[in-house]
Amino acid sequence: MIEIKIDQERCKGCSLCVEFCPKKALFISEKLNMKGYFVAAFDEKKECTGCISCVLVCPDVAIEVYKN
Protein backbone atom coordinates (compact mmCIF):
# COMPACT_ATOMS: atom_id res chain seq x y z
CA MET A 1 0.00 0.00 0.00
CA ILE A 2 1.22 3.46 -0.92
CA GLU A 3 0.66 6.49 1.28
CA ILE A 4 1.25 10.03 0.05
CA LYS A 5 1.57 12.92 2.47
CA ILE A 6 1.40 16.48 1.23
CA ASP A 7 2.50 19.31 3.51
CA GLN A 8 -0.31 21.68 2.65
CA GLU A 9 1.41 24.70 4.15
CA ARG A 10 4.46 24.19 1.93
CA CYS A 11 2.44 23.51 -1.22
CA LYS A 12 1.85 26.49 -3.49
CA GLY A 13 -0.47 24.69 -5.91
CA CYS A 14 1.89 24.81 -8.89
CA SER A 15 0.36 21.52 -10.17
CA LEU A 16 3.66 20.03 -11.34
CA CYS A 17 2.92 16.91 -9.30
CA VAL A 18 -0.49 16.63 -10.97
CA GLU A 19 1.01 16.92 -14.45
CA PHE A 20 3.74 14.33 -13.84
CA CYS A 21 1.68 11.70 -12.01
CA PRO A 22 1.35 8.74 -14.42
CA LYS A 23 -1.77 7.43 -12.63
CA LYS A 24 -3.40 10.88 -12.20
CA ALA A 25 -3.66 10.21 -8.47
CA LEU A 26 -3.02 13.85 -7.54
CA PHE A 27 -5.22 16.85 -8.12
CA ILE A 28 -5.51 20.48 -7.05
CA SER A 29 -8.13 20.65 -4.32
CA GLU A 30 -10.51 23.42 -3.44
CA LYS A 31 -8.84 23.79 -0.04
CA LEU A 32 -6.78 26.90 0.60
CA ASN A 33 -3.69 26.88 2.78
CA MET A 34 -2.68 29.74 5.08
CA LYS A 35 -0.93 31.54 2.21
CA GLY A 36 -4.05 31.45 0.04
CA TYR A 37 -2.97 28.73 -2.41
CA PHE A 38 -5.20 25.91 -3.59
CA VAL A 39 -3.16 22.87 -2.55
CA ALA A 40 -2.48 19.48 -4.09
CA ALA A 41 -4.29 16.45 -2.74
CA PHE A 42 -4.07 12.68 -3.19
CA ASP A 43 -6.99 10.62 -4.50
CA GLU A 44 -6.74 7.37 -2.54
CA LYS A 45 -9.09 5.65 -4.99
CA LYS A 46 -6.47 5.85 -7.74
CA GLU A 47 -3.78 3.19 -7.92
CA CYS A 48 -0.57 4.99 -6.97
CA THR A 49 2.51 2.96 -7.93
CA GLY A 50 4.90 4.81 -5.62
CA CYS A 51 7.03 5.98 -8.56
CA ILE A 52 7.92 9.19 -6.64
CA SER A 53 7.63 11.39 -9.74
CA CYS A 54 5.62 13.84 -7.65
CA VAL A 55 8.38 14.02 -5.04
CA LEU A 56 11.05 14.66 -7.65
CA VAL A 57 9.22 17.49 -9.42
CA CYS A 58 7.88 19.31 -6.34
CA PRO A 59 9.88 22.56 -6.05
CA ASP A 60 8.71 23.07 -2.46
CA VAL A 61 9.60 19.60 -1.12
CA ALA A 62 6.01 19.29 0.06
CA ILE A 63 5.38 15.63 -0.87
CA GLU A 64 6.45 12.40 0.82
CA VAL A 65 5.70 8.89 -0.46
CA TYR A 66 5.60 5.89 1.86
CA LYS A 67 5.39 2.27 0.80
CA ASN A 68 3.80 0.14 3.51
Sign of CA dihedral 9, 14, 17, 18: positive
Let me know: does 44 contact 52? Beta carbons within 8 Å. no
Q: Which of 27, 4, 12 is nearest to 58 (CA)?
A: 12
Taking residues 38-46, report their average pLDDT. 96
The single-letter DSSP state of residue 45 is T
Sign of CA dihedral 53, 56, 58, 63: positive
Q: pLDDT tier at 26 (50, 70, 90 boundaries)? A: very high
| Predicted pLDDT at 1 | 86
Give domain limits for the chain.
Answer: 2-67
Classify domain 2-67 by CATH number: 3.30.70.20
Q: pLDDT tens-digit profile of 1-22?
A: 899 999 999 999 999 999 999 9
Regarding pTM above 0.85, the answer is yes
